[in-house]
Chain A
Amino acid sequence: MRYIEPHGHMVSRTTDDYEAMITAGCRAVCEPAFWAGYDRSGPQGFYDYFCQLTDYEPKRAAKFGLPHFTWLCINPKESEDVQLAQEVIALIPQFLDRPNVLGIGEIGLNKNTRNELKVLEQHIDLAARHEQLILVHTPHLEDKFKGTRLILDALLADSRIKPDRCIIDHVEEHTIQMVLDAGFWAGITLYPESKTTPPRAIDMFEVYGGQRVWLNSACDWGRSDPLAVPKTAIEMRRRGHSEETIDRLVFQNPIRFLGQNPRFDVR
């Protein structure tokens, strides 16, 4: 088996996880910028984090033979402070030329506030001005349905944004249809409790099709499994899906989306 982990917060994982992923067939890992579990005290903290994502972490992954890519932003969980967000967004352009940067992400909403929406629009503008791919985080649990609608409206309101260059992540059964209908890619996140289990992810794949869908573990410092994607591939085998179908979903689809940035040269 070969697969891409298109969404993993590796700075909070151990080297054992890197070993396990490469052993399971992982060919590349992509790490969106996210919330550290606490609020950073100022823009300098983000500068250091962006250095970690673009310099130190790819070197750590390379020790295990795993290409490491990243996405940059201020995560929606810290977007309520608009002034801080603007200062952080101003830092990002100087990192966009680094060789492992794929785009702007994971941007989006958390509690669906006016300030979060304002910062989302500023991220969208940044991506449009620099012709970057976009990776979107949709809110958790009870906030997901409303937040997904607000996010799609914000993206579609900007005529510079091409939906097929944006992936809307963490979709579930109540949001996947609207994402695909609007022409975006959809990311299905595999978590032990929230988001989606492997059987539900495969249900969505079977019901809605796999043309513009990827699977990811979004492994981080919380309850999550860096091997969730290959485990779901095994579940697909149990259901009788062919090796070609599995490969298309867990390997070829991420390459089709991420390959829109020529830096993502995994083949």
Chain B
Amino acid sequence: MTRQNILDLYFMDARSKLIDIAAFLDRVDRGEGEPDFRLAAFRKALEELQRGEPVRARRVLLSLSDPTTEPIAKAPGKGAVGAWPGQEAH
């Protein structure tokens, strides 16, 4: 597909999601109290969007991922929250 085709197909959807992210960050700023590690992880992942190579999705996913390699001793629960809390959380 040409870049023009891609814009025709996906620009409005991407625009909508971009504004959703902006509104989400505004909402967090207006909130009270201290945010947990997820906000910092989210902001760090956003930096990956500025890179010039077409591997942004991969880099955003890696940015939010546990980078360690050894299995942990015990499950802290069953669920995942979407961002790695850091080594000290285990």
Chain A residues engaging chain B, CB cutoff 8 angstroms: 35, 77, 80, 110-117, 139-146, 149-150, 172-174, 199-200, 203, 238-240
Given the known inter-chain contacts A140-B80, A200-B57, please indicate yes or no for A112 contacting B71, CB distance below 8 A: yes
Q: How far is the CA of A173 from the CA of B58 in the complex (A)?
A: 5
Contact A174–B65 (Cβ < 8 Å): yes
Whether A146 and B58, one on each chain, are in contact in the complex, defined by CB atoms closer than 8 angstroms, is no
A78 (CB) vs chain B CBs: closest residue: B78
Q: Which residue of B lies closest to A142 (CB)?
A: B84
Kindly list 6 other residue pairs between chains A and B, CB separation below 8 angstroms, not including A145-B61, A174-B61, A199-B10: A111-B80, A140-B79, A141-B83, A145-B67, A174-B65, A199-B13
User: B62: which A residues are within 8 A, CB to CB?
Assistant: 145, 174
Q: Please classify the interface of chain B as helix (H, G, I), strand (E, B), loop, or mixed, using the class held by over half of its residues.
A: loop
Report yes or no: B1 in contact with A142, Cβ–Cβ below 8 A.
no
A56 to B72, CA, bound (A): 38
Most buried by B among A35, A113, A149, A240: A113
Contact B73 A142, beta carbon cutoff 8 Å: no
Asked if residues A145 and B1 are in contact (CB atoms below 8 Å), the reply is no
Q: How far is the CA of A141 from the CA of B45 in the complex (A)?
A: 14
- A-side contacts of B84, CB under 8 Å: 142
Q: Taking A145-B66, A146-B66, A240-B1 as contacts, is the C-beta distance between A111 and B9 under 8 angstroms?
A: no
